[in-house]
Amino acid sequence: MNDGLPASAPRILLAIETSCDETAIAVMDEKGHVPVHRIFSQIDQHRPFGGVVPEVASRCHVEALPPMLDEVIAAAGLDWSAIEGVAFTRGPGLATSLLTGMASARALAYRLQCPITGVNHLHGHAVSIRLTRNGGMKDIALPALILLVSGGHTMLLLEETPARYRLLGQTLDDAAGEALDKGAKLMGLGYPGGPEIEAHARTGDPAAFAFPRGLARNQEASHRYCFSFSGLKTSLMVLLKREPSLKESRLADLAASYQEAVVDALMLRVVDALDHLPIRTLACAGGVARNARLREKLSAAADHSGVALALTEPEFCADNAAMIAASARLLNTWADPVAADLDVLPGWGLGEDTGTPHH
Amino acid sequence: MKILSLELATERAGVAFVDTDCPEGYLEETWEEARARHGELLPALDRLKRRGGWDWRELDLMVAGRGPGAFSGLRAGLLTVAFLAAPGGTPCRFVSSMEAAAKAWLGEQQQAQAMVIGDARRGHLWMGLVEADYGSPPCAWELIPGEQFATRRPTGLPLLSPHLDRILALAGADAIGLNPTPEATARLAWQREKDRAPAEPAIPLYLHPPV
């Protein structure tokens, strides 16, 4: 290391993700292969509250991180000196959770005398479409349209040059995953709501109930690729207030129809973008990208439009550290861990400045 | 024994390198940490390391204070020690910040016991009775509503606190100011290590439930 910066790009990276309720550490080699990654999901700790409690999340990170580090290094069969760079999630996310990852990453990088980088969590999700289970990172034909859908975020991105993004639109209220969580709660299902709704939807009729699909298509230009899910949730609430017995008598139909409305609201904007933008790849990332119905519809849309399909592999859809390593690898912007101005950015967005994570 | 110690329980944060073979010999870097971001932690540690000229392999023990105190600082301290120690497999120990500070104070004052209190936020105080004896078991800290302190305060014992203004406002208590120091934290951890006392968990003394 020269003045805190590497003479060349680090080969072996260790990445730490603590933006919300998953504690994750991964190792990535110089080819983008991820020999080991671990995720500790705190869902059981948050389930009693029906959602993520920031203080619970932060406490869980403190307990999970040190043993996970030892486990990852042992599983990778690495000597500590092999680690040449440390990446961590700098934002967006819960401030008290982000701070645990930053403290850990800075300490490790300082101890190993290697550089550090603070990664944008959303950028991590966006580049997760490149991750493969047993190979390195795959190439994506650009421009790519990326639907990023999770419990906290719903956005449509255009990747025109490698790992640089233009935000086409995003949700104006709830995220898609949040809409599924809230819908599941109204139906009396457990947390997290997405998998619960999906499980019940398998035997239901997606056309049984007519739920709204969010914003009308004749929106003003600035909202053309934006989403809205608050009306959908309200519609379900009104229906169940009028007919509460539906939760018992037609739960599968309710779940299937509600899921279909969420997926359709997403697909309306995706198809519009495919029809009007010069896109070569349709991609999807984030926790909701695991939803089988969404994957099926995205696949059909890609086929219909004649573009390549790049869906994040299910193992890398939820928050994970492999995607943080991938982002660090692609952006390759490193700093000295001693730099005092390295801080978390809880409200960090994703846009054209994402390639410059250090301010 | 050579010890690296971090103390981030209060706004007066610090790192220290303590060589127990030299009773008066330690190096310390302190700073005021107002934003709970601890951006100054590694620069201070780096200065300390350059001043002391020690190598990671020389360290016998790494230590961090568990509080009670500011949660973000305690988390940063515990995780920093854990991640600094991991590559070399250096043993770690975590002890109560305020217990360590109070024991050091009691030793200087040649007194046997003190009551230590602080502002736990949400209208509560944390309090504990600290013994001067380094062989005593870890202090049993408890959380009480501020207004109950008057009935719980033992008579004839010195009252120590890092939050003089806040506890005066919250409980009407007039205390002697005492801040945790990384040197005191290191010395308590060293004593516990020598005594082979059971390890305390590597988690902050939150006292408050998370919700």
Percent of chain A with pLDDT over 70: 93
Give the pLDDT score at A358.
35
Closest-CA distance of chain B to residue A358, Å: 14
Q: Which domains does chain A have, with CATH numbers?
A: 13-133+317-331 (3.30.420.40), 144-312 (3.30.420.40)
pLDDT of A355 above 80: no
3-state secondary structure of A267: helix
Condensed to tens digits (0 to 9), the pLDDT of residues A306-315 reads 999 999 999 9
Q: Where are the domains of chain B?
A: 2-96
Residue of B nearest to A56 (CA): B210
Condensed to tens digits (0 to 9), the pLDDT of residues A3-50 reads 445 557 789 999 999 999 999 999 999 989 999 999 999 989 998 888
* Cα separation, A36 vs A203, whole angstroms: 36
Instruction: Extract the tokens encoding A154.
Output: 């719903």
pLDDT of A356 above 50: no
* Cα separation, A342 vs A101, whole angstroms: 12
For chain A, the residues whose C-beta falls within 8 A of a C-beta of chain B are 49, 53, 55-56, 58-59, 61-63, 65-66, 69-70, 73, 80, 96, 99-100, 103-108, 110-112, 337-338, 340-344
pLDDT of A258 above 70: yes
Closest-CA distance of chain A to residue B163, Å: 23
Q: Tell me what ipTM this predicted complex has.
A: 0.95
Condensed to tens digits (0 to 9), the pLDDT of residues A309-347 reads 999 999 999 999 999 999 999 999 999 999 867 889 999
Q: Could you tell me if B78 and B64 are in contact, meaning their C-beta atoms sit under 8 angstroms apart? A: yes
CB contact under 8 A, B42 and A55: no
Q: If you count them, how many residues does chain A have? A: 359
DSSP, res B4: E
Q: Is the dihedral of CA B145, B150, B152, B154 positive or negative?
A: positive
CB contact under 8 A, A340 and B71: no
DSSP, res B211: -
Percent of chain B with pLDDT over 90: 86
Measured between beta carbons, the chain A residues lying within 8 angstroms of B211 are 49, 53, 55-56
Q: Could you tell me if B149 and B123 are in contact, meaning their C-beta atoms sit under 8 angstroms apart? A: no
pTM higher than the cut 0.80: yes
Tell me which CATH code domain B2-96 carries: 3.30.420.40
Give the pLDDT score at A214.
78
Vertex B209 angle, CA A55 and A179, to 5°:
40
CB contact under 8 A, A107 and B42: yes
Confidence band, pLDDT 50/70/90 cuts, at residue A357: very low
Condensed to tens digits (0 to 9), the pLDDT of residues B86-131 reads 999 999 999 999 999 999 999 999 999 999 999 999 999 999 999 9
pLDDT of A218 above 70: no
In order along chain B (211 residues), what is the average pLDDT of each group of 10 residues?
96 94 86 82 95 94 97 96 97 98 98 96 95 95 93 92 91 92 97 95 94 89
CB contact under 8 A, B39 and A337: no
Candidates B32, B42, B55, partner chain A, best to mutate (most A CBs within 10 A): B42
Q: Could you tell me if B74 and B204 are in contact, meaning their C-beta atoms sit under 8 angstroms apart? A: yes
* Cα separation, A74 vs A272, whole angstroms: 48
pLDDT of A1 above 80: no
Confidence band, pLDDT 50/70/90 cuts, at residue A229: very high
CB contact under 8 A, A106 and B40: no
Q: Could you tell me if B8 and B38 are in contact, meaning their C-beta atoms sit under 8 angstroms apart? A: yes
Q: Could you tell me if B204 and A64 are in contact, meaning their C-beta atoms sit under 8 angstroms apart? A: no
pLDDT of A217 above 70: no
